[in-house]
Every structure is written in C-alpha cells, then in structure tokens.
Amino acid sequence: MKAAVLKGPGLLELDDLPDPLCPKGGALLEIKACAVCGTDVKMREHGHRDLAYPRVLGHEMVGKIVEMDANTHLAEGDKVQLWPGIACGKCRSCLCGADNRCPSVKIMGFNCDGGFAQLLALPKESFPGGVNLLPGNVDPALAALAEPLACCINGQEQACVSKGECVLIYGGGPIGALHALLAELHGADKIIVAERLQDRIRLLERHTHEVMVVDPAEMPLRSWLAAEAGGTVDVILTATPQVRVDGDLLKMLSPGGRVCIFSGPAPGNYQEQIDLCSIHYHELTITGSYGCASRHNRQAVELLTSGMIKADWLITKRTNLAGIEDAFSHSSKRAGMKSVVLI
C-alpha cells in the first residue's frame, strides 16, 4: 500500500509498505479521508513526546471496513470514523469515560501507525467504542473533522462552558473555530476570538453567528474587553501556543472563571508565576485537556452528521495522498483553515 511515512524530523516520504493484515478480533480499513492536524505539522518539523520513527502520521481518520474479524454490529462495507486511541478498556479511567487518560493508551499516528495510508489495521481494542458508524452519504472529509471537534468537546467539558457565559478563545485557526462553533451550541452569551490573520478573520466572520473576532494587533485585547465586555470573561480557551497562561491572563477572568490550556504551551512558556491568592479569592480554575475520549468522538460525529455543527467551510484544502506535501504546507502557512487528504 502507499503511505506517507515520517522517517525523521522534516522527512515525510510517500512509500510502498506491505499491506497490513486484518488483526485477530479487529478489522482492516480502507482509509477514505485523513485531516491534517496542527500536531502533525509540529511532529513533522520537531517530533513529539509520543512519536517514534518511522511512523505513518494521521489521527483524524475516516475509513471503510474491508475485512472484519470483530464481533460487533458493524459489517464490511460500513463507513466509520475512528477514535485514534487504543486503550486497555479495564482501568478506572477507561471505565469512567476518560479512556484518553488510560495509563497504557496508545495513539494511532503517534505511538503506532495512522491514517495517511491506503489501509489501516484496526486492533480489537478499538471495538466497539472507538469505531463510529457513519451515514453512507456523509462527506468523508467533513467526518474527518469529528476527531478535532471531539478534542474541543473535551476541552469545553474541562472548562465547564455553560449557557449565558462569556468565552474568550485565543487563536482563530481550525481549532479556535471549532471551539467557537461549539461554544455557540452550548449557548454562550458572548464568544470572542483573538486572531491576527486576515483570511481567518474573514472566514470566521462569514461563517459564525455570535462570534466577535478581535485582532490584537489593532487593539490590545484587554482594552477591547474593558470597552466591549465588562473587562472580564468566564472562560478562556487557548487554541494557539502563542499565549502565556500567567498571572496577567488570570486577571481577565471573572470570579469563578476557568482557563483551559488546550493548546500545548510554546517552549519557554512551560513555567509561570501564578498568584495563588487570586485563585483562592476569585475561585478560579486552571485546567487542561489533551486529545479526546472515545465518547467525545461519538458526540462529535452526531453533531457533524446531524448538521448541529456546520463545519464544512473549515475545509479549505483537499488533496490526494500524492499531494500530502501540499496539504501540510496549507496547514503550516495558516492562510486557510483545514487540509484533508482524501485517499
């Protein structure tokens, strides 16, 4: 099969690999679509904590079952979306709906091979919870957005985004945009996205309803908040590494406010001085999220396929596997939003 293999930092190559076999108790899939994540771009350039070379990248996957050994309601020919985690299914985290926190979790496209390939061997651990049946007529590129949307569902669950609240999102790329759409769905009263890139600002303004986009290069965010939003917000979500979660950021939170460190902080911003008294007196919460649980993927598939979240406008580049360089450069240039490789 053809696959895009990362062989070392900066070395992403299209290779012929032996076709994988259908694992015992699992399934063999033909990949239909795999979206490019910011983490894929980061991994290609700099590696990642959970990455070992050589590796087929790609964890935002949609495929068709071509061979089945698992005993489930799914059958050969079914189109499915995948949770990229492979967890034990038995530990406390797995049993309480947080299988992304399983101590032995592996992630396809990180610790084992992922979806920028023609075929994928899906292990028995993925069944039944990690495989979500899709309607036959769904656009596979759209369904590939379910995994990043699931990550946003997880982040907003950690930050308890609720009806009537004021939510500030740093970064208006694909993740910031998905966070904004989800906050609209959660009934947030004010949604503010801080973004500097004009193309992204235009897209956000055209395709969202309740969202205010602020360009911090034009007006400092703090002054904007003081003038337009009473000075503070209930929730801050980081959807870019270019934000410092420090004492100054916490001053933008209302009493009871929450900040979710969703995007991994940039090197140099790993350690900050935080005023614990402000957390105590204002009952603030600093939380984080990494990836998503399998149940978040089920919710995300439902939201996208029912049209409750309309996200097709986020796909600004479609390529085939031979055009994977194009897909990666569209993402790393950050001019549009999301690239999807159709296989």
Query: Of the listed pieces 38-46, 65-73, 202-210, 227-235, which binds Zn ion according to CB under 5 A?
Result: 38-46
Consecutive H or E run containing 299: helix 294-305
State which of positions 131-190 bind Zn ion (CB under 5 A): none
The correct pick among 12, 56, 68, 102 for binding Zn ion (CB under 5 A) is 102
Query: Of the listed pieces 62-70, 93-101, 117-125, 262-270, which binds Zn ion according to CB under 5 A?
Result: 93-101
- Find out whether 40 and 46 touch, Cβ atoms under 8 Å: no
Query: Of the listed pieces 32-40, 43-51, 106-114, 309-317, which binds Zn ion according to CB under 5 A?
Result: 32-40
Query: Of the listed pieces 4-12, 94-102, 155-163, 271-279, which binds Zn ion according to CB under 5 A?
Result: 94-102
Query: Of the listed pieces 91-99, 176-184, 299-307, 334-342, which binds Zn ion according to CB under 5 A?
Result: 91-99
Binding of residue 87 to Zn ion (CB under 5 A): yes
Compute the least distance from the CB of residue 220 to Zn ion, in Å. 31
Separation CA 80–CA 91 (nearest Å): 26
Compute the least distance from the CB of residue 117 to Zn ion, in Å. 17
Separation CA 301–CA 143 (nearest Å): 7
The correct pick among 29, 86, 94, 237 for binding Zn ion (CB under 5 A) is 94
**Could you give phi then psi for residue 188, rounded to 5 degrees?**
-60, 145
| For Zn ion, the closer CB: 31 or 94 | 94
Residue 79, classed as helix, strand or coil, is: strand
Binding of residue 241 to Zn ion (CB under 5 A): no
Binding of residue 37 to Zn ion (CB under 5 A): yes
Strands (E), the chain: 2-8, 11-16, 27-35, 55-56, 60-68, 79-82, 85-86, 106-107, 119-122, 131-133, 166-170, 190-194, 211-214, 233-238, 253-261, 285-288, 315-319, 338-342
Instruction: Give which of 224, 207, 206 is closest to 215, Cα–Cα.
Output: 224
Compute the least distance from the CB of residue 188 to Zn ion, in Å. 23
Total site size for Zn ion, rule CB under 5 A:
7
| For Zn ion, the closer CB: 116 or 188 | 116
| For Zn ion, the closer CB: 102 or 192 | 102
Separation CA 35–CA 140 (nearest Å): 10
Relative orientation angle of helices 174-185 and 146-158, to the nearest 10 degrees? 60
Compute the least distance from the CB of residue 150 to Zn ion, in Å. 9
Number of residues that this document lists for the chain: 343
Compute the least distance from the CB of residue 87 to Zn ion, in Å. 5
- Find out whether 291 and 263 touch, Cβ atoms under 8 Å: no
Contact positions vs Zn ion (CB under 5 A): 37, 39, 87-88, 91, 94, 102
